[in-house]
Structure 1
Amino acid sequence: MPQLGMGELLIILIIVLLLFGASRITGVASALGGSIKAFRKAVRDDDVPASKSEPAESTDKKVETNV
């Protein structure tokens, strides 16, 4: 498979810019950045152990003995 050099990538970038326009490309890039940020936040929130995010229940139970 042939590799793309800097010249070919620049030509492809210019063609994409002409087809879609600068404002549409910046809008897509902004939406992509927001999606990545939301994904990272969701992954970070899932990594928090349940014991830290929820209040711990008291394990002190009164034990009644019938004597």
Structure 2
Amino acid sequence: MGNLGITEILLIGLALLLFFGPSRLPELGKSLGKGIQEFKKAGKELTEAVSEEVRNERK
């Protein structure tokens, strides 16, 4: 997680809990997970497309 330590992660979690409340945290976590998954999928597709173009240029 980069340069974040346990203390920083706990402070961020506490701030989120205070700001959004305990009922919204699971929903936010699920949305964040889906967003990260879509971002990784798009990055993988972009990498594959560029690799394919490079292979086609070499032929």
Larger Rg: 1 or 2? 1
Q: Which has the higher contact order (CA 8 A, sep 6+)?
A: 2
The residue correspondences of 1:10-49 to structure 2 (distance < 5 A) are 17-18=20-21, 21-49=24-52
The Cα RMSD (Å) is 2.9
Structure ranking higher in helix proportion: 2
The ranges of structure 1 where at least 4 consecutive aligned residues each deviate by more than 6 angstroms after the TM superposition are none
% same residue: 7
TM-score, length basis structure 1: 0.47
Letter in 1 for 2:46: V
Count of aligned pairs: 48
Q: Could you list the runs of 5+ residues in structure 2 that have no partner in the other structure?
A: 1-15
1:10 alignment partner in structure 2: none
